[in-house]
Amino acid sequence: MLKIRAHYDVIIVGSGPSAISSALKCAEHGMKVLCVDNFPPSSNKLSRGKFSHAPSEEIATLLHSAKLYSELKINSRFHGIVAENISLNLSQFVERKNSIFTQIEKEIYKSFNTAEIDFFNASAKLIASNAVMLSYSTAEPSKLVNAGNIILATESIPISIQCAPVDYQSIYDSSTAFNLTEIPQRIAILGAGVIGLEIACIWNHLGAEVILLDAQESFLSLVDHQISREAYKVFCAQGLELRLGTRVVSTKIINKKVHIEYQDSDGVHVIRVDKLIVASGRKPYSEHLASPEANLLIDQNQFIFVNDNCRTNLPNVYAIGDLTMLGPMLPQKGIAEGIYVADQIAGIQSSVVNYETIPNVIYTDPEIAWVGQTEQSLKAKGGAIAIGTAHLGYSAINKSSNYTQGLVKVISCPKSDTIKGIHIFGNNASDLVAEGVLAMEFSSTTEDLAKTSHSHPSPSEAFRYACQYINWK
């Protein structure tokens, strides 16, 4: 068994993507690192192993299997492929995802071992700016460990709401949304935000009737409106039932069915479904992370106060990832912060995290991805903008895979020609957005992109077309 030292250069609390990136970077800088994690209560029904994963990692894995199933069932015949008696084993479907994460864990363990990072499964509580108390689920006594620096990286957990208490039999949260034994006929999802939609797309591909209920009147209001309008049309055509402006007020389980009472502008309605999944948002997982004597500043929504350098109010204590209000609640921003903080601790001058160029992705089918600002936010600021769009359906590759919907939209400043935002709705948008991130990170102009060679045929050509459109005007 690993023997914990009494002192480390750095203690990292958490083992999600931000923590892992930070631990490896600290070790690369020659520091002795302890990484410690217990798992959020909501995930205790998942066989997740020892490291925690961002929800998007699990969703992206399941979506891949769900797309394959629906391709074989519905689309294979268009390719002249005869696939008969296609059926789905739900437990194997989930087990495959679990085994992928077991494999990933082994790889992380291996790199931790190579980097001589100590990893321990325990509950860590910050008790001072240089000390954490570790307590174990076993009878082992708690242990005080000191460190020169402490990085808090416990990420976020689903928000539970009183009107729909999770019981893991009829009502599930977003972390356990696929822990069912069979495909429900009719499923409702509370929340048509990022995670609600991702879960909806998977269940829809698996053949369930999916109803999304969201209190907001507008669909994906944070996304560029042209993209969210297009996505709304496509998702509805796929069979998702999107009931917007509907606030869920209560739920009851009667004869194993969930009776959901919701309110909209016409009054109160009740629907009956087999299962309900609550995807009403996420909150920082900061409860019990610090003892009151530590005096760590945390706001009423559980976010830890940090300055632009991820430093908390306590000397040498940092918070990264979903725990803070800096940037979006996305694993890629936590990963960037983890590396930046490790550099700061090592005394290495590195540029601060550029939150403007963090890509956002929604793992639906097709995917939604963007970087930079939306048309509506730029217009609200009052500056002039130029817009170029190109449809992804023109690409022979997208046509051959039946992905004929979707677009790439580039927004630029007409004076400097620099790119202000790139928005994509389409197959593999999560990959395509990387070109936009790079272009913005290096302050490229639309002319640069229009003159850059892109593989033909490939969906990435849409970037060139969208930028050419701006340049021709």
Residues that bind ligand NAI (CB under 6 A): 54-56, 156, 161, 190-191, 193-196, 213-216, 247-248, 279-282, 322, 328-331
Compare residues 218 and 452 and give the one whose CB is closer to ligand NAI: 218
Helix (H) or strand (E) holding 407: strand 407-412
Name the residue nearer to ligand NAI (CB basis): 5 or 272: 272
- Quote the least distance from Cβ 174 to ligand NAI, whole Å: 6
Class of residue 457 by CB neighbours under 10 A (exposed 0-12, middle 13-18, buried 19+):
middle
- Distance between CA atoms of residues 70 and 64, nearest Å: 10
* Segments in 188-326 forming alpha helices (H): 194-205, 225-238
Closest to ligand NAI by CB, 12 vs 329, is 329
Q: Is 200 helix (H, G, I), strand (E, B) or coil?
A: helix
Kindly tell me which of 130 and 175 has the beta carbon lying closer to ligand NAI. 175
Task: Count Cβ atoms below 10 Å from residue 308 Cβ, excluding itself.
Answer: 9
* Distance of closest approach, residue 194 Cβ to ligand NAI, in angstroms: 4
Token pair recorded at residue 423: 């928005």
Task: Encode burial over 249-282: b for 16+ CB neighbours within 10 A, e otherwise.
Answer: eebeeeeebbebebeeeeeeeebebbbbbbbbbb
If the CB atoms of residues 272 and 456 are measured against ligand NAI, the closer one turns out to be 272
The DSSP element (H or E) to which 213 belongs, if any, is: strand 209-214
Catalytic residue among 7, 269, 288, 456: 456
Q: Please state the closest distance from residue 208 (CB atom) to ligand NAI, in A.
A: 19
Cβ proximity of 65 and 164 under 8 Å = no
Write the single-letter amino acid at 432: L
Q: Which residue is nearest to ligand NAI (CB)?
A: 193
State in angstroms the smallest separation of the CB of 60 from ligand NAI: 10
Nearest distance in Å: CB 261, ligand NAI:
11
In whole angstroms, give the CA distance from residue 163 to residue 175: 18
- 93 phi/psi in degrees, rounded to 5: -55, -45
Site of tokens 């492929």:
81
**CA–CA distance, 83 with 441 (Å, rounded to integer):** 45
Closer residue to ligand NAI (CB): 76 or 250:
250
Q: Least separation, in Å, of the C-beta of 176 and ligand NAI?
A: 14
Instruction: Give the other-Cβ count within 10 Å of 396's Cβ.
Output: 11
Closer residue to ligand NAI, CB minimum distance, 131 or 161: 161
Q: Are 256 and 170 in contact (CB under 8 A)?
A: yes
Burial of 452 (0-12, 13-18, 19+ CB in 10 A): middle
Which segments of 261-384 does DSSP mark as H helices, in order?
Answer: 331-345, 375-381
Cα dihedral sign for 113, 116, 120, 124?
negative
Taking the complex as a whole, how short is the minimal distance between the CB of residue 348 and ligand NAI, in angstroms?
27
**Nearest-approach distance from CB 361 to ligand NAI, in angstroms:** 9
Report the Cα 90 to chain-centroid distance in Å.
Answer: 23
Long-range CB contacts (< 8 A, 24+ apart) of 83-91? Answer: 88/183, 88/206, 88/207, 90/178, 90/180, 90/181, 90/182, 90/183, 90/206, 91/181
Q: Closest separation between CB of residue 72 and ligand NAI, Å?
A: 27
In the complex with ligand NAI, which residue's Cβ is closer, 143 or 225?
Answer: 225
- Indicate if 456 belongs to the active site: yes
Strands 143-152 and 131-135: antiparallel
| Catalytic site positions | 456
